[in-house]
C-alpha cells in the first residue's frame, strides 16, 4: 500500500506535467485509457520521477509494466524501499 507522501509526490508530477486535476487522480486510473497519456507523456513521467527521486530510471524494466496510477505508486514505494537514501529526496 502506498504511503500518503508517495501518493502526493506522484500526483504532483501528474498535476505539474500533464495539468490534470487532482480529483481525477485515483489509484485505479489507467494511464493511457483514463488519463489519456501517450508514449511521449510516459517519457515526461519518467523524467519527473527521476527528478523528484534523484535517481536514473533509464534501465528500469519495471516501467514497462505500469498501466495504472497504482502501479506508479507501487514502483515508487519499491524504489524507496530499495534505496533508503531516496526517502529524503522524495519528501522535498
CATH code at position 14: 1.10.1200.10
- Total number of domains in the chain: 1
**Which pLDDT score is estimated for 89?**
57
Strand ranges in 17-59 using DSSP code E only, listed in sequence order: none
DSSP state at residue 36: -
Other C-beta atoms closer than 10 Å to the C-beta of 59 total 6
Domain range holding 64? 4-91
| Residue 44: strand pairing partners | none
CA distance 76 to 71: 9
Task: Tell me the three cell numbers of residue 67.
Answer: 498501466
- Of the candidates 32, 43, 25, the one whose C-alpha atom is nearest the C-alpha of residue 67 is 32
Cell triple for 80: 524507496
Q: What are phi and psi of 30, to 5 degrees?
A: -85, 130
pLDDT truncated to tens, each residue of the chain (92 aa)? 789 999 999 999 999 999 999 999 999 999 999 999 999 999 999 999 999 998 889 899 999 999 999 999 999 999 988 888 876 655 55
68 in helix, strand or coil? strand
Amino acid at each position: 500500500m502506498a504511503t500518503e507522501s508517495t501518493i502526493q509526490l506522484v500526483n504532483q508530477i501528474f498535476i505539474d506535467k500533464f495539468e490534470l486535476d487532482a480529483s481525477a487522480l485515483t489509484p485505479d486510473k489507467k494511464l493511457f485509457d483514463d488519463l489519456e497519456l501517450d508514449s511521449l507523456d510516459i517519457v515526461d513521467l519518467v523524467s519527473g520521477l527521476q527528478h523528484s527521486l534523484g535517481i536514473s530510471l533509464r534501465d528500469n524494466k519495471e516501467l514497462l509494466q505500469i498501466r495504472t496510477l497504482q502501479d506508479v505508486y507501487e514502483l515508487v514505494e519499491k524504489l524507496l524501499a530499495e534505496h533508503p537514501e531516496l526517502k529524503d529526496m522524495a519528501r522535498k
